[in-house]
Each structure stands twice: as structure tokens, then as C-alpha cells.
Structure 1
Amino acid sequence: MAWQISGQYMETCNCTLLCPCIFTNLAGRPTEGDCKAALALRIDKGSKDGVSLDGINFIVMLQSQGPMGAGNMTVGLIVDSAASDTQVEAIGAIASGAAGGPMAMLAPLVGKMAGVERREVRIDNDGVTWSASAGELLDEACEGLLNLSTPPELMAIDNVSHPLNSRLALAKATRSKMDAFGIKWDDSTGTRNGHFAPFAWSG
């Protein structure tokens, strides 16, 4: 095994809840016409080709001009400024799909790799609330939706084709501000989509 990483992830996007990309297998038109999303990943344990990636946070920013499955997506990467150049290179290969693994299935849909930015990337969790920030480029948060029949369990969607996990917690985006790689979005209405889940990737 050349590499493996595992940890926790959260995301917000500009679609109203529930994002149609999930239940249409990327074929549905985003509720705003385009899709803007920020996927924040916290690596708890991982390595690639002998390089430790423990404790590194990074964010995958993406935008599609229509249904994600139609391709021509713009993708950019923000890696924590504490990461070394070697760690950034490793994460870049993993996040782009160049190193194989789950992101490789999205690689054919990417029309433009918009580059890599280095910022302090924070990913925090308090109960069912997750948040992520990267300097002036990103500030997002989401809150899990509780199942009132079996509290404190969360509502979730299962058996989905998502690169992070086949089971995602349903969440509302309480804050979603993006301004990076030409991807701009700012919303705090509590009506937009969010997810979080553990992840384990390898290649």
C-alpha cells in the first residue's frame, strides 16, 4: 500500500438542503444552477511513501457550472501552512486523484486544477457541529440534523456514491463563506446543505 489516510471530514455547499448531487448520482442540476462546495478533511493518521501525514488538515474547493456529472469542474486545494513541502506534494497527489484512491473517480470530471494555497486550516468539532476555516479563503460550519425519534442519533443518508464515505450525516450549513480560486459564496441562512463523516482512503 503506497499510502493511506483516515480521519474526519465535513463540507458545505451552495445547494439548498438536500443537495441533489447526492441522490441523483451527480446527474441532478444544482439548486442554484452551479455547485460550489468546500470539503474539509482532518487527517488523524496517515502516510504516503514513508511521509507521515498525521495531523494535517486540508480543504478541497470545487465548482461545477451545472450538474457535477457533466464535468468541467474547477478544483483547488488549500493545505495547512504547518505542512512541509513534501507533505503538501503528497496531499496534492491524493486530493487530485493522481495517486489513485477515491478521488481518482472524480478526476475525469475536473476541467481545471486551480492550484494550491497555504493557510492555517482549522477543523473543529463540538458535538454535532463542525466548522472549518482557512484564513480569508474559507469560513464554514454545519450542524447535524437530529432524529427526534431516537435522540441523540443523527439523520443520515446511506449507500451514496461519495468519495468520503457511503454514509453521510445530514446537516444544515449554518455558515458558508468561500472566496478562493474564483469560487465565491457567502450564506448564513441555515437553509443550505452540509455533511460530515469519518473517512478512510488508501491507494
Structure 2
Amino acid sequence: MDNRHPGAPKSGQGTVPWAIKGELILNCNCTVFCPCVVSLGKHAPTEGYCQAWAGVRIDEGHYGDEDLSGLNVGLILEIPGLMARGNWKAAAYIDERASNDAYNGLIDIFSGKARGTTGLFKVLVSEFLGAERAPVIFETEGKTRRLIVGKQIHGEVVPVGGADSDQDIVVTNTEYWMGPDITVATATKGRVRAFGRVWDFDGRSAEICQIDWKGPR
């Protein structure tokens, strides 16, 4: 499914230079902690399949000459088994404040068409359920992160406490596609009502990751 803005040119996909820096949060149906981070998808999710929502806050970013800074994106991911075996389903909610060019660029990035860091989506996602404009709110309050996408996604994640309450538990130096350092977290709220999915992942595994993604150079 192509949800690009009507009249948007399709040439240039996969050749446009792009970059995104910011933060990603994700909550899935695994018990704490999701094994995919360390196994890189070679270990099965704790429930045998994966259902997840994610939020991306773009602090700095561009797609070609189009500025993406300050925009947010919400995602839904569904994986039937081992992450590395593909056959994913995915959907995206694009910040309603995005210009038409930014909207189209973000669809290319999060569908994998723009290649680069997120290019694996084009290989692993067999069905892109679609993209919609929506009010996508990404909030940070202390160590708590929240993602609110209309009535479709309402999520809140917090780091899991360690022996030293001032230090988060972080899995470092990984080869995980999101980024090398993943903060172990859990969801205090993980509600999804979107694209026919009815999910509630309160108390389940979550991740917080600083991202530095880029595409063709």
C-alpha cells in the first residue's frame, strides 16, 4: 500500500540522502526483557510471536532538503515468529504537522524504501498496512516516556530499576538495528486500538534507545 501524498514523485526512492537523530521507545508483548535485542532476532519472542508499538521523536533530521526536526512518528509492528525470518506487518502514524514532502519522506524512511538504517524494513516487512496523518505526541517527564497517537496508541514506558537507583540498566555495544545502547524498560501503559488490533501490554517489555539513523550518501 502506498500512502504517499497524491502527486508525490516516486522517482528517487532509495537515493535521497536522509538522517534522523532522536529517541525511540518500544513496547512489545514479551515479558521483560525482550530477547531480540541481544539475539538480533535469532531467539524467539517470549510469547512465540511479537506484537509491538513504537514511537520516534526526531530531534534533528532531514529527507533531502526537507527538514524533519521536531516531528514524531508512531509505529505498529507484528511479527509472526523469529524477527530475523521476516514476514512482518507494519503501519505508521505520521505527525500531522509534517509538510507533504516531510510526510512522503517519512513514509519512505519507515517503509524501508529510503534504504539506509531502516532499509531492513523493505526486506522484513511483507505487508505495509498503511500510513496515516495523526496527532503524534511524544512526551518525556523525568525518566518516563509517553506516546499518544489519538485514540489509537496510548503508551508509557519507564526504565527498569537497578541496584543503583540513579543508574538505568543499559545493554551496551549491541548490533541491534535501532542502536548500540538499549535501556531496559517496562510499560506502565501499552494500549493499542488500531488497524484492527486490540492490544494491552501493561507490565510487558519495553526499550528506550537514542537513535542516529541515516540513508544513502
Q: TM-score, normalised by structure 1?
A: 0.92
Offset of residue 187 of structure 1: 3.1
- Match in the other structure for 2:83: 68
Question: d(CA) in 1 for partners of 2:209 and 2:42?
Answer: 23
Q: Quick check: 1:22 aligned with 2:37? A: yes
Offset of residue 180 of structure 1: 2.0
Given candidates 140, 158, 180, the residue that maps to 1:166 is: 180
- Match in the other structure for 1:109: 124
Q: Deviations over 1:127-186 (max 9, x none)?
A: 21111010111011111123323x411001123232221111000111111122333311
- Asked if the contact 1:102/1:201 (under 8 Å) is kept, the reply is yes
Aligned residues: 200
- Match in the other structure for 2:65: 50
Question: d(CA) in 2 for partners of 1:103 and 1:184?
Answer: 26
Q: Quick check: 1:33 aligned with 2:45? A: no
Given candidates 21, 28, 31, the residue that maps to 1:6 is: 21
Task: Please give the root-mean-square deviation of Cα atoms over the aligned residues, in Å.
Answer: 1.5
Please state whether the residue corresponding to 2:107 is helix, strand or coil.
helix
Q: Quick check: 1:195 aligned with 2:207? A: yes
Offset of residue 30 of structure 1: 1.7
- Match in the other structure for 1:59: 74
Question: d(CA) in 1 for partners of 2:175 and 2:51?
Answer: 18
Q: Quick check: 1:182 aligned with 2:182? A: no
Segments of 5+ residues of structure 1 without an aligned counterpart are none
Offset of residue 102 of structure 1: 1.2
> Quick check: which one's strand share is greater?
1
- AA partner of residue 167 (structure 2): E
Segments of 5+ residues of structure 2 without an aligned counterpart are 1-15
4+ residue runs of structure 1 moved beyond 3 angstroms?
A: none
Q: Deviations over 1:28-85 (max 9, x none)?
A: 2222222111121011111111111111100221101112112110011111111122
Question: d(CA) in 2 for partners of 1:125 and 1:31?
Answer: 28
Question: d(CA) in 2 for partners of 1:154 and 1:146?
Answer: 6
Q: TM-score, normalised by structure 2?
A: 0.87
Given candidates 135, 144, 166, the residue that maps to 1:120 is: 135
Please state whether the residue corresponding to 2:29 is helix, strand or coil.
strand
